[in-house]
């Protein structure tokens, strides 16, 4: 699908440089039990790409050698990787915060019924996709029955202590717009989510993270097919804010694909834009063992306007709450 999209250039977006490396975001597999319209990874049940056991070992070596503080696991559904639990256990033993980017329905899949308990016992922070508190909106974006299963997953997590006052078990929800628009203000939407989910389902969570849809992969192809791509790109450009540049996640994160190759962010990974900071033309996880990254350039294209539009966007939500 990437080849069907208009060419993204480098002429307009401001140059960026790296700060200290804090987070490794690792895409363990493209396999997923869902196939969502907004997915920038084109993940789904028929995808077979997955990180090898040898690369899992190398990743653990990097964790031991590098002063990173967070391991952010994504996919697909990262929990479907056979070494997911081993990697979580080793990272937690090394003192890292582990974030599981969970689609919630995985918690009720066969052979994953004890997954929620494992996550709680391991002290894993959960970032859970829930693009709306309305059944119709969620099912139209993510598939029939997804909303009901997501609510069941959230109740299961709440029962284990996730998102509860005074608990150390962190549960954050993630919102993506359904179409070619910017997310609404995050704080107001979080208040709406908390009110509706509490009143309707008795569900509690810590924070809502709003993320702007990237004009790449599956969502980008959908925009092209509907004749909305150029209009959406103009929307992102028109709402550019330089105030968001210092907080961009690419300044403190390295994205690792299932083959071990390195990128400045997950979106560059999908576009196969490698990090320009290391000697290799295509930097690999093994190159990170002795790399010094601060102040090196970051690969940018026009899709970067999605992260700087409006309040800004990152895997941790907005960048600017003013």
Question: 229: domain CATH number?
Answer: 3.20.20
Considering the domain boundaries, does residue 288 fall inside one? yes
pLDDT at 39: 60
Half-sphere exposure of 255 (CA within 13 A, CB side): 24
Considering the domain boundaries, does residue 296 fall inside one? yes
Nearest to 275 by CA among 257, 258, 290: 257
pLDDT at 288: 85
pLDDT at 1: 38
Q: Between vectors from CA 104 to CA 98 and to CA 108, what angle results, nearest 5°? A: 115
Nearest to 55 by CA among 35, 26, 80: 26
Cβ atoms of 40 and 313 within 8 Å: the answer is no
* pLDDT string in tens for the chain (322-residue length): 344 555 455 557 899 999 999 999 999 999 998 766 556 666 788 899 999 999 999 999 999 888 899 999 998 899 999 999 999 999 999 999 999 999 999 999 999 999 999 999 999 999 998 877 766 566 555 556 788 899 999 999 999 999 999 999 999 999 988 789 999 999 999 999 999 999 999 999 999 999 999 998 778 888 999 999 999 999 999 999 999 999 999 999 999 999 999 999 999 998 999 998 766 678 999 888 877 788 889 999 999 999 999 999 998 999 977 6
Considering the domain boundaries, does residue 319 fall inside one? no
pLDDT at 2: 41
pLDDT at 145: 76
Considering the domain boundaries, does residue 38 fall inside one? yes
Burial of 232 (0-12, 13-18, 19+ CB in 10 A): buried
Structural domain total, the chain: 1
| Cβ contacts of 282 within 8 Å, gap of 6 or more | 261, 274
Range of the domain at 47: 2-308
């Amino acid at each position: 699908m990437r080849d069907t999209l208009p060419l993204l250039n480098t002429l307009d977006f401001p140059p960026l440089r790296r700060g200290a490396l804090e987070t490794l975001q690792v895409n363990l597999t493209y396999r997923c039990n869902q196939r969502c319209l907004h997915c920038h990874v084109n993940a789904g049940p028929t995808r077979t790409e997955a990180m090898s056991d040898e690369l899992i070992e190398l990743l653990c070596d990097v964790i031991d050698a590098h002063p990173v503080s967070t391991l952010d696991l994504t996919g697909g559904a990262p929990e479907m990787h056979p070494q997911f639990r081993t990697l979580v256990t080793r990272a937690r033993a090394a003192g890292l915060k582990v974030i599981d980017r969970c689609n919630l329905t995985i918690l009720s899949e066969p052979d994953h019924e004890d997954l929620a308990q494992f996550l709680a016992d391991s002290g894993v922070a959960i970032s859970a996709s829930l693009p709306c508190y309305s059944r119709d909106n969620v099912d139209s974006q993510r598939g029939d029955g997804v909303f009901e299963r997501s609510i069941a997953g959230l109740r299961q997590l709440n029962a284990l202590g996730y998102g509860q006052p005074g608990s150390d078990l962190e549960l954050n929800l993630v919102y993506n717009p359904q179409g070619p628009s910017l997310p609404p203000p995050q704080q107001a939407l979080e208040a709406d989510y908390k009110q509706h989910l509490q009143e309707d389902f008795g569900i509690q969570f810590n924070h809502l993270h709003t993320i702007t849809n990237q004009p790449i992969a599956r969502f980008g192809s959908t925009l092209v097919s509907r004749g909305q791509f150029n209009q959406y790109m103009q929307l992102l450009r028109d709402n550019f804010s330089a105030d968001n540049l210092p907080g961009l996640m690419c300044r403190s994160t390295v994205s690792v694909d299932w083959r071990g190759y390195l990128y400045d962010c997950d979106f560059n990974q999908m576009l196969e834009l490698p990090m320009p900071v290391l000697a290799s033309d295509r930097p690999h996880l093994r190159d990170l063992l002795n790399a010094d990254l601060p102040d090196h350039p970051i690969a940018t294209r026009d899709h970067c306007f999605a992260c700087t539009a409006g309040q800004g966007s990152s895997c941790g939500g907005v960048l600017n709450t003013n």
